[in-house]
Amino acid sequence: DQQVKQNSPSLSVQEGRISILNCDYTNSMFDYFLWYKKYPAEGPTFLISISSIKDKNEDGRFTVFLNKSAKHLSLHIVPSQPGDSAVYFCALTGTGRRALTFGSGTRLQVQP
Amino acid sequence: DTAVSQTPKYLVTQMGNDKSIKCEQNLGHDTMYWYKQDSKKFLKIMFSYNNKELIINETVPNRFSPKSPDKAHLNLHINSLELGDSAVYFCASSRGLAGGITDTQYFGPGTRLTVL
């Protein structure tokens, strides 16, 4: 009963190119969507978020897109840099939920 | 000046033992959480406390008991450890407890528990 799926466990891109990480969810009660980034031996750190009233949020090289009808969100990183190499988790929550529901993560490797 | 700290970072123990993991946050947040990252890499909520009051208690064996002596600390005590308890446990904190803008959570570095 996984409510949040990140179907690509890993992704490799060249430095300077675009990285696209995807996340699908099943529960339409989610209305706030976040991306966390995790380096080895560290905890996840907040990266960017979007609420359900928007379909796009941009912060520098990072853009999150939300398609509510498809229950799909994506994170675009452009241009990708070697320091972006990490595991990226999507995390979803909603009014009254009080905790985050995480996907299983996608390991991004940016090749110099 | 670590925001959310956990001790120990690694814990190796025998089945049947009792162990504790400590968590402290210096962000002045009201809400603290424990998550478990299982072998499939999902982070799943276990417990949440708001101002020392238990808010979330997911389906977790009662061998796991959280304790919050004050709102800056949330410790996790585990009795009678089992092989399946092996995982990485993350503590987190947030300013608010409602799902939404105030729910940006700050995580500790994790505690890797190995039960032999």
Q: Is B59 part of the contact surface with chain A (CB cutoff 8 Å)?
A: no
- Say if residue B1's pLDDT is above 90: no
Q: Cβ–Cβ contacts within 10 Å for residue B10, how many?
A: 10
Distance CA B69, CA A58 (A): 40
Give percent above pLDDT 70 in chain B.
93
DSSP string, B32-90: EEEEEE-TT--EEEEEEEETTEEEEE-S--TTEEEEEEETTEEEEEE-S--GGG-EEEE
Size of interface A-B (CB pairs under 8 A): 73
Give the per-residue pLDDT at B99.
Answer: 52
Tell me if chain A has a CB within 8 Å of the CB of B105.
yes
- What's the DSSP call for residue B103? G
Mean pLDDT, each 10-residue run in order, chain A (112 residues): 88 97 92 93 93 94 97 97 96 80 95 94
CA A13 to CA B1: how far, in whole Å? 35
pLDDT of residue B42: 86
pLDDT recorded at residue B114: 96
**CB B41 to CB A104 under 8 A?**
yes
Is a pLDDT exceeding 60 seen at residue B19? yes
pLDDT given at position B103: 66
Per residue in B90-110, pLDDT (tens digit) is: 999 998 765 555 568 899 999
B20-34, B45-59, B62-76 — which is least confidently predicted?
Answer: B45-59
Cross-chain CB nearest to B45 (options A31, A36, A99): A99
| Mean pLDDT score across all residues of chain B | 90
Question: How much of chain B, in percent, has pLDDT values that exceed 90?
Answer: 65
Report CB contact under 8 Å: B100, A89: no
Average pLDDT over residues B29-51: 89
Identify whether the C-beta of residue A78 lies closer than 8 Å to the C-beta of residue A31. Answer: no
Q: What is the pLDDT of residue A29?
A: 85
The C-alpha angle A46, A84, A98, rounded to 5 degrees, equals 15
Q: Which residues of chain B make contact with A44, given a CB cutoff of 8 A?
A: 43, 90, 107
**The pLDDT of residue B41:** 83
Residues of chain A in contact with residue B44, where contact means CB-CB under 8 angstroms, are: 102
